[in-house]
Structure 1
Amino acid sequence: MTRIIKGNYIYEFSHEHKPVASVCIGESFIVETIDCYSGNLQSENDLLTNFPHLKPNPATGPIFIENVSKGDLLEIHIQKIELSEYGIMPTRPNRGWLGEYIREPQTRILPIDNDIITLNETVQFIANKMIGVIGVAPDIGAVPNSTPGDHGGNMDTKDITEGNILYLPVFHPGGLLALGDLHAAMGDGELNGSGVEVGGKVTLTVNKIEGFHLNMPIVKTSNEVIIIASAKELQDAIKKCMKEAIRLIQQKNGLEFADAYRLVSAKGDLRISQLVNPEVTVRIALPKEWIAI
């Protein structure tokens, strides 16, 4: 099985990056990743403030997918996520939604054993493994790994996990897929600016779909299709996500706008993915049978 080893990182998504590997359609492969702080926080004495020029969210790649063209969709099957032995959760003043209450920087190292995460002697919780950063080269220019968009990127969406399928629109030949910023656990919103940040390995299989247009990423679970949208303002992200949901419902069911709008209101679940990145990310979950993909 092809293995793309850690060390081959990008810090922005761009079609100008040279691929570090190529894989075939339908081939399973392993991608090694490092945590979003590039392994610099090794102990609780290592603080974010010690690394003022740290580039966040290194992503392993880009990976060229053979026989994939602009206008195709990547269908990314997330088969397995394997975590390192510990995760990291730093805090510092003015980070996250209540950062004004943090008086000094602090780092917690959280051991991970059999998908059980330990905060301290009395508090443990179950991992919910997910990929924070995954995307393709955007249509125009370069997008930093800190930022989500229609190409994917730093979506911090917990449904991007084992057993689910991520669909990404392709803007350049080969797609130029890259990923990183794994989390052992993260709640919706990522409210203090950090999940349980961790390195690890991800096993993927990538297929392609021709002739089906998407404006932004979506995830398919066993019973839902989830549209993911990002924008600088929350209300803009919500409207953007709703418009894509309505378009896809109309496409599958031949409905006028008003009826598709009704269905989104009747059965669509609006969820917050993250509120702490340069653009916020929301998602709308719909019954799987309503979308044709």
Structure 2
Amino acid sequence: MPNSTRHTIHRHHHHFGWDNAIPPILTVAPGDTVSIDCRDSSDGQLTPTSTVADVAALDFGRINPVVGPIRIDGAEPGDAIMVTIGDFTPSGFGWTANIPGFGLLADQFIEPALKIWSYDRVAMTPAAFSSSARVPLKPFAGTIGLALAEPGLHSIVPPRRTGGNLDIRDLSTGAVLYLPVEVAGGLFSIGDTHAAQGDGEICGTAIESPMALTLKLDLVKGANLATPRFTTPGPVTRHLDADGYEATTGIGPDLIAAAREAVSRMIDLLVRDHGLAAVDAYMLCSVCGDLRISEIVDVPNWTVSFYFPRIVFR
């Protein structure tokens, strides 16, 4: 990312929740690049030596820390911040958890579960889930956004019109994200880095992994966006497509119910064909399976499909 001033922000410059009263830790000019060291979504509560007991003991007041905020010179309400995602420097450690009360099938999986991942931080080869399953990696930041116009502290958990906990796995290296500005300076923050995630993040966690990243912050005057939009530099599933997919469906008048059915049927299939425990199949689906709306026009029923990449078991 040439022809710009470079800045570095360390992970201790973090906060929890969106609040336009939080003073910026850095002001940049449009076109500047920033290297940011992000904490994982547990804020370090889960480590390579953690056990499932640590999942049950999580302090939810510390979930999803974001580094920032960063003020962009000249940004005013009605503009957009154009974020060009650069390279990631992964840590080699990650975790996936089933957190009671959280996730698409929270009523079915009520006990905590934890998978600790170790992966090659340089080669980024597929990470072992078990002796028979390996997950291709694709780093990205799950939480990326700007401050809201409304005063006060707003939860970091839901995505919002200015971005936030979007969990869009395609916001990886080379992607360009446009975020609507609602306050002077925009007040950009980022965190919740992932080594891999499926579309839908169905159990509520991906391969949560602390890592550093580099990005460029630009300003688009008068963009007047209602919600974020983004572009990708090329195909988005190439790292998973090589051996095709197994897919299950849910069909009915309720999209959430249909999504739950599609996922439940894939879990049943993985348990039957690969001998996984149901909760392990659930977590594995969250880090590499894709939940898609296949049809939403043929009243009264919609079709939701869940795609699981066969390359994981090759």
| Partner residue in 2 for 1:217 | 228
User: Which letter does structure 2 place at the counterpart of 1:122?
Assistant: S
The answer on 1:86 being equivalent to 2:93 is: yes
1:158 and 2:169 aligned:
yes
Match of 1:59 in 2: 66
Matches within 5 A, 1:187-198: 187-198=198-209
Q: 1:15 to 1:93 in 2, by over 3 A?
A: closer
Equivalent in 17, 35, 41 of residue 36 of structure 1: 41
Identity of aligned residues (%): 28
Match for 1:16 among 18, 21, 26? 21
Q: Give the ranges of 4+ consecutive aligned residues of structure 1 lying more than 6 Å apart after TM superposition.
A: none
Write out aligned runs for 1:247-266 (5 A). none
Q: Distance in 1 between matches of 2:81 and 2:107?
A: 41
Contact kept? 1:147, 1:154, Cα under 8 Å: yes
What is the correspondence of 1:238-249 to structure 2 with a 5 Å cutoff? none
For the pair 1:180 / 2:180, whether they are aligned, the reply is no
Deviation at 1:120, TM superposition (A): 2.9
Letter of the 2:77 partner, please give it: K
| Aligned-pair CA distance for 1:25 | 1.2
The partner residue of 2:141 within 125, 128, 131 is: 131
- Indicate if the aligned counterparts of 2:171 and 2:232 stay in contact, CA closer than 8 A: no
Give the secondary structure class of the aligned counterpart of 1:62.
strand
Shift of 1:16: 0.5
For residue 56 of structure 2, give the secondary structure of its aligned residue in structure 1: helix
Name whichever of 179-188 and 91-100 sits farther off.
91-100
Deviation at 1:118, TM superposition (A): 2.1
Q: Which is worse superposed, 14-23 or 117-126?
A: 117-126
Q: Which residue of 160, 164, 167 corresponds with 1:149?
A: 160
- Counterparts in 2 of 1:171 and 1:95: CA distance versus 1, 3 Å: closer
Residue aligned with 1:48, SS = helix
1:133, CA displacement in angstroms?
0.3
Residue ranges of structure 1 left out of the alignment (5+ in a row): 225-232, 236-269, 273-293
Q: What are the superposed Cα offsets for residues 33-52 of structure 1, whole Å, 9 maximum, x if unpaired?
A: 10000011112425221124
TM-score of the aligned structures, taking structure 1 as reference length? 0.73
The aligned amino acid for 2:207 is V
Matched residue type, 2:217:
V
Is the CA contact (8 Å cut-off) linking 1:44 and 1:106 kept in structure 2?
no
| Corresponding letter in the other structure for 2:95 | I
What amino acid sits opposite 2:16 in the alignment? Y
Q: How far did 1:55 drift? A: 2.3
CA-CA distance at 1:132 after TM superposition? 0.5
Structure 1 residue 121 corresponds to structure 2 residue 121: no
Deviation (angstroms), 1:271: 5.2
Q: Which residue of 1 aligns with 2:250?
A: none
One-letter code aligned to 1:197: E
Match of residue 201 from structure 1: 212
Distance 1:180 1:4 in 2: 12
- Conservation of the 8 A alpha-carbon contact between 1:74 and 1:168: yes
Residue ranges of structure 2 left out of the alignment (5+ in a row): 1-5, 236-253, 257-290, 294-314
Q: Which residue of 1 aligns with 2:84?
A: 77
Give the drift of 1:108: 1.4
Cα distance in 2 for partners of 1:57, 1:194 equals: 11
The one-letter code sitting in structure 1 at the alignment partner of 2:232 is T
Shift of 1:223: 6.2
Whole-Å Cα distance in 1 between the matches of residues 32 and 143 of structure 2? 21
CA RMSD of aligned residues (A): 2.2
Once residues 31 and 161 of structure 2 are traced to their aligned partners in structure 1, the CA distance between those partners, rounded to angstroms, is 24
Equivalent residue pairs, number: 230
Q: 1:222 to 1:51 in 2, by over 3 A?
A: closer
9, 18, 27: which one aligns with 1:4: 9
Q: Report the equivalent of 1:284.
A: none
Alignment check: 8 A CA contact 1:37 1:54 kept: no
For residue 53 of structure 1, report the CA deviation from its aligned partner: 4.3
Q: Counting strand residues as a fraction of each chain, which structure ranks higher?
A: 1
Q: Which amino acid aligns with 1:219?
A: F
